[in-house]
Structure 1
Amino acid sequence: MNLLVLGLNHQTAPLAVRERLAFGDAELPKALAELTQVRGVQEAAIVSTCNRTELYCNARDVDAVLGWLAASRGRSVDDIASHLYRYEHDAAVRHAFRVACGLDSMVVGETQILGQLKDAERAARSAGSLGVLLNGLFQRAFQVAKDVRTETRIGASSVSMAAASVRLAERIYTSVSECRVLFVGAGEMIELCAAHFAAQKPRGIVIANRTLERGETLAAQYGGDAMLLTDIGARLAEFDIVVSSTAAPLPLIGKGMVERALKARRRKPIFFVDLAVPRDVEAEVGDLADAYLYTVDDLSEIVRQGLASREGEVVAAEALVAEGVAAFKQWQATRALVPTIRELKDQADRVARNELARAKKRLAAGDDIDDVLERLAEQVAAKILHAPLASLNAASPQDQEPLAACTRRLFRLPDQT
């Protein structure tokens, strides 16, 4: 088994690169099927969020996995190699556990990534690409993340992307309570943002979504309204703040659409927060004088606030990760013994069943029961011990002492004095 993690995140690649290498939810089944057909890949899972794209594999050939990633995204290896990190064996385990705990996130200690890892695990399981190694990795990563949340306060006072969006909006508008807010999408990130903005009691909340039913369900929680994504162009001028996070492959809000909205607003500004990867708002919107566009990368400084006060908790969390890595390594070592243990048990079982069958025949023939049982015990012991005794007797002089010591340990014989 060779555990491999190949990926990039907000620390190694800018947003423009991350969005080119991202996988949408609808792409995952096909992508996982293709990845497990790559030479040497036995298991695979893909984690793709606004801040990272990572391949988790049980694979022998790192270059083959790298080549598949580049080809699947329509890029050359040279184009993406400088942005990627790769971890193998224990380093891969440690990285996975740190990701699950939020230690590798833009917002250190955030918990959203744990849900995204669980989504990736479910997608891989559904696609049939999750085997013993990756299942063990993810289940133990979830447990380590739970331990970190229970035993440390790493998440205390952390500033989420949603909270950072509110802080940025307050730099442009005196009060969010005077604004009308449009949320584009109805996924988990939008739910978090809606909760934070709703707490400021804005003048109005509208959810724009591909399906009206889902938008209405979320909007009802905050006394808002819903509309379809196709209505954004006609109604954009109504809103002071626009927060977007969808899985759309192409931008939903273009420069021309925003120019028309600003003209209708008589140049009253619009504040955009684009949390989607790939982006929902064209980058050129940021060039407009009265449009304030922020992406996930632009929020990085704000969300890092408060980390210094939690440095001690980070140290404690890292210690729990280290313990988790050690436990996983022990589990892997145990897994490596499984075939040998299974074969040993099967062999002993065959001996016992064969001798039992002979004993039953003797009993059926009327032989003395005590004699039959005594002979059964002797034969089972003799046949089970035949192979180890033969190996000891056949050992060369230089092998006799270590083989004898190993035998005494395996059979828990008393030490020689």
Structure 2
Amino acid sequence: MTVLTLGLNHTTAAVDLRGRFAFAVDQLAPALQALHQQLTGTPHSEAALLSTCNRTELYVAAGGIGGPIHQLRHAAVDWLSRTGGVSADELMRHTYVLEGGQAARHAFRVASGLDSMVLGEPQILGQMKQAVREADNAGTLGTTLHQLFQRSFAVAKEVRTSTEIGAHSISMAAAAVRLASQLFEDLSKTRVLFVGAGEMIELTATHFAARNPRGMAVANRTLERGEKLATHLGAQAMRLADLPQRLHEFDIVVSCTASSLPIIGLGAVERALKARKRRPMFMVDLAVPRDIEPEVGRLGDVYLYTVDDLSTMVQTAGEKRQAAVAQAEAIIETGVQGFVHWLDQRTTVPLIKALHAQADDWRATELARARKMLSKGDDIEAVLEALSRGLTQKMLHGAMAELHSADAHTRPQVAASLSRLFLRGETVLASPAAERPPVRPDTSDEGVA
């Protein structure tokens, strides 16, 4: 099997370009099915799609040797470039393509939080598990990708339990609170609006709630879900449609929805600033694609930050952190070696199946012969002797034929291979006269299969 990863993330592409390739959860299944149709030229193709605010990654796999990797690469690049509406050349300037062990290493690092904007952040693991569920539901998750992701989750669990990888970092939510604290001296005097009700908003809202702001509100497209989060936070729930008229009430706005278009426009913010008499507004856009029009950041009294801007808040120093990273990388490397070994073994699966099928045929033939002898009244000991002899001759026939047909140059190699297979590595030195031992003929009336 061949495994390939094609992706772009916060280190290779800016937020606006990443936004062109972002997929909401309900878009994953149809997108995967469309991609899978494009992979029909490769045997046993599989596909999974991971899409977060920081990355979009395709994980694909296919059977065969040699050709499929080129077919996979071409099909994946072509599909993703058309989906995002950019040329393949433009896409490749901002993406990475990883194969085999490198693809596995990348998946393990992503799951463990080592490839995240915030080192060790835990949200990505849940997002990967969601991606796997969607691929499974779409019918595009096969044995190889299932194994890759299950090993990713196991490695991530070991990294988090055996190292302090998450103990020396700050979350995106904590970074937002820190930035807000730099603008407003006392967050307890501010009013905060959260747009959306997903996991990231819930996490960010929890951090802000710890600062006891004067008021909090949750605006969500689905009012019921917004009310649920608002009740949990002790906040007010409001309809998303009411946001433009009430935007001026809030000092801090944090938005993270799955909308494909901005939901907070320049005009709405300008009107809000006018109603606020130019009092500043702190805005955080955690969505990809953007929830807040980028032009809003040019307004003099607005402090707008995106997920990329928050990366400056990530702590990057400390001996403990570096030691944790080194430990995590060692765990990951062991996991990669295990997956590569498993992947290599997969190439022998057809041969193993064929050997089992052949052995079953031999066994069935000899059993039928033994039953026939028993029905004729033959002695049981004689029947057992014939059964065992028949099976032995069938198993050795191919090996002896190879040894007999080998010439003087290849015979030592064939003999060494047969010794490993049948004598468990013991070396048998044959005299010249015994160099070609006779093969005992198969006396079964069915012949050798």
Pairwise TM-score range, normalised by the shorter structure? over 0.9
Residue 52 (structure 1) aligned with residue 55 (structure 2): yes
Superimposed CA distance per residue, residues 99-135 of structure 1 (whole angstroms, 9 cap, x where no aligned partner): 1111111111111111111111111111111112111
C-alpha distance in structure 2 between counterparts of 1:124 and 1:191, whole Å: 26
Whichever residue aligns with residue 20 of structure 2, its letter is R
The corresponding residue for 1:69 is: 80
1:35, CA displacement in angstroms? 1.1
Name the CA distance, whole Å, in 1 between partners of 2:320 and 2:265. 40
Equivalent residue number for residue 414 of structure 1: 426
Counterpart CA distance in 2 for 1:389 and 1:186 is: 71
Verify: 1:291 aligned to 2:291, yes or no.
Answer: no
Match of 1:199? 210
Letter in 2 for 1:8: L
2:81–2:87 Cα contact (<8 Å) kept: yes
**Distance change in 2, residues 1:99/1:216 (3 Å):** same
Quick one: which amino acid aligns to residue 324 of structure 2?
E
Contact between 1:3 and 1:89, CA under 8 Å: does it hold in 2?
yes
In the other structure, the counterpart of 1:353 is 364
Q: Does 1:190 align with 2:201?
A: yes
C-alpha root-mean-square deviation of aligned residues, in Å? 1.4
- TM-score normalised by structure 2 residue count: 0.90
User: What is the alpha-carbon distance in structure 1 between the residues aligned to residue 425 and residue 163 of structure 2?
Assistant: 45
Structure 1 residue aligned with 2:11: 11
Structure 2 counterpart of 1:364 = 375
Could you say which structure has the larger radius of gyration? 2
SS at match of 1:130: coil
* Contact 1:159–1:303 (CA under 8 A) maintained in structure 2: yes
Query: Given the alignment, which residue of 254, 260, 269 partners 1:243?
Result: 254
Instruction: Find the aligned partners of 2:57 and 2:273 in 1 and give their Cα distance.
Output: 39
- Give the Cα–Cα distance (whole angstroms) in 2 for the partners of residues 374 and 199 of structure 1: 82
Aligned-partner SS, 1:221: helix
2:190 pairs with 1:179: yes
| Secondary structure at 2:134 match in 1 | helix
Aligned to 1:43: 46
Output the CA distance in 1 between the equivalents of 2:212 and 2:406: 83
Unaligned runs of at least 5 residues, structure 1: none
Task: Return the offset for 1:309.
Answer: 4.4
Distance of 1:266 and 1:362 partners within structure 2: 105
CA contact (8 A) 2:113 2:122 kept: yes
Distance in 1 between the 2:346 and 2:318 partners? 39
Aligned to 1:341: 352
Distance 1:109 1:178 in 2: 32
Secondary structure at the counterpart of residue 182 of structure 1: strand
TM norm structure 1? 0.97
SS at match of 1:29: helix
- CA distance in 2: counterparts of 1:242 and 1:305, whole angstroms: 27
User: CA-to-partner distance for each residue in 1:37-62, whole Å, 9 max, x for gaps?
Assistant: 22445111111111111111115221
Are 1:390 and 2:401 an aligned pair? yes
1:211 Cα shift? 1.0
Work out the CA distance in 1 between the residues paired with 2:125 and 2:317: 21
User: How many aligned residue pairs are there?
Assistant: 417
The whole-number CA distance in structure 2 between the counterparts of 1:299 and 1:101 is 20
For 1:27, the equivalent position in structure 2 comes to 27
| CA displacement 1:170-206 (0-9 Å, x = unmatched) | 0111121111111111111011101111111111121
Q: Secondary structure at the match of 1:37?
A: helix
The residue type equivalent to 1:292 in the other structure is: Y
Q: CA deviation at 1:74?
A: 1.6
Rounded to whole Å, the distance in 2 between the matches of 1:345 and 1:402 is 25
- Match for 1:204: what amino acid? G
Shift of 1:154: 0.8
C-alpha distance in 2 between matches for 1:370 and 1:410: 29
* Cα deviation, residue 169, structure 1: 0.5
Q: What does 1:24-173 align with in structure 2 at a 5 Å threshold? A: 24-39=24-39, 40-41=41-42, 42-58=45-61, 60=68, 61=71, 62-173=73-184
The alpha carbon displacement at 1:415 in A equals 3.0
CA distance in 2, matches of 1:408, 1:92: 38
| SS class of match (2:270) | helix
Residue 418 of structure 2 aligns with an amino acid whose one-letter code is T
Q: Indicate which of 286, 298, 301 corresponds to 1:275.
A: 286
Report the Cα distance in structure 1 between the residues aligned to 2:279 and 2:85, rounded to whole angstroms: 40
Contact kept, 8 Å, 2:168 with 2:315, in 1: the verdict is: no
Deviating beyond 3 angstroms after TM superposition, the runs of 4 or more aligned structure 1 residues are: 304-309
Q: Provide the C-alpha distance between the structure 2 equivalents of 1:337 and 1:76, rounded to a whole number of angstroms.
A: 39
Larger CA deviation: 58-67 vs 5-14: 58-67
CA contact (8 A) 2:419 2:428 kept: no
| Cα distance in structure 1, aligned partners of 2:48 and 2:81 | 16
- Is the 1:210–1:229 Cα contact (8 Å) retained in structure 2? yes
1:254 aligns with 2:265: yes
**3-state SS of paired residue (2:289):** coil
User: One-letter code of the match for 2:4?
Assistant: L
1:234 to 236, 245, 258: 245
1:159–1:305 contact (8 Å) kept in structure 2: no
